[in-house]
Amino acid sequence: MNYKLSNDARPQAMTLLLAAIIRSLSGSCPSRKFSATHFEFFVTFIHEGGHALAALVTGNSVQSLSVAMNGSGETYTTQGGMFSQMLVSSAGYLGAMTYGALLLVLIRRSVAARVVLVGSSAVVLR
């Protein structure tokens, strides 16, 4: 198969590729842990938020959501039926993936980075 990237999407694709290369090369760097910690907390929060949102959508309630200093997280919800449990269990990864896809769509639509940052801050602070 032959894929062709449109000309207006090339800068974003190159930025994403450069970020992936830098991230993979910085794996053995001692300062990587400090620089990536904030991103790990944010991704964990989005992941746990996916569980919480799925619980609310299925009619359950969220008892607690926490993100630990080591980057792990927990979300406790009331227990619903089998379908509800399946949806809530898988919603962490689906939520993080959906949030990432939304960010890519916003970049593609030329939404200002400041607007995306303020929107993400509002999600975290709520």
Residue 11 in any domain: the answer is no
State the pTM of this model: 0.69
Q: For position 30, what pLDDT does the model report?
A: 60
Please report where in the chains the tokens 């449109």 appear, as a residue: 6
- Structural domain count of the chain: 1
Tell me the Cα Rg of the chain.
Answer: 17
Going from the first residue of the chain to its last (126 residues), give the mean pLDDT of each consecutive group of 10, the final group possibly shorter: 76 82 69 65 89 92 89 88 89 90 83 83 77
Residue 93 in any domain: the answer is yes
Q: For position 70, what pLDDT does the model report?
A: 83
Residue 14 in any domain: the answer is no
Residue 110 in any domain: the answer is yes
Residue 22 in any domain: the answer is no
Alpha carbon distance 45, 39 (integer Å):
10
